[in-house]
Amino acid sequence: MTKFKIGDSVRVRYYGRLPLIRHSAIVIDK
C-alpha cells in the first residue's frame, strides 16, 4: 500500500490538474 499512499499524496498535491492526476493513476496502476 506504499505506492497507493504516494499516489494519493501526489493527487492532493497537484489537485486541479487533469494531466497530473492522470499520470498519478498510471503510476498507481503499475
Give residue-wise pLDDT tens across range 1-24. 455 555 566 655 555 555 555 555
Sequence ranges of the domains in the chain:
1-30
Q: CB neighbours (10 Å) of residue 24?
A: 20
pLDDT score for 8: 60
Contacts of 10 (CB under 8 A, 6+ apart): 20, 24, 27
Q: What is the pLDDT of residue 1?
A: 47
Cell output for 14: 497537484
* pLDDT the model gives residue 25: 56
pLDDT on residue 3: 57
Rounded distance between C-alpha atoms, residue 1 and residue 19, angstroms: 23
Query: Rounded to whole angstroms, how far apart are CA atoms 11 and 27?
Result: 11
pLDDT at 26: 54
Cell 499516489 sits on residue: 7
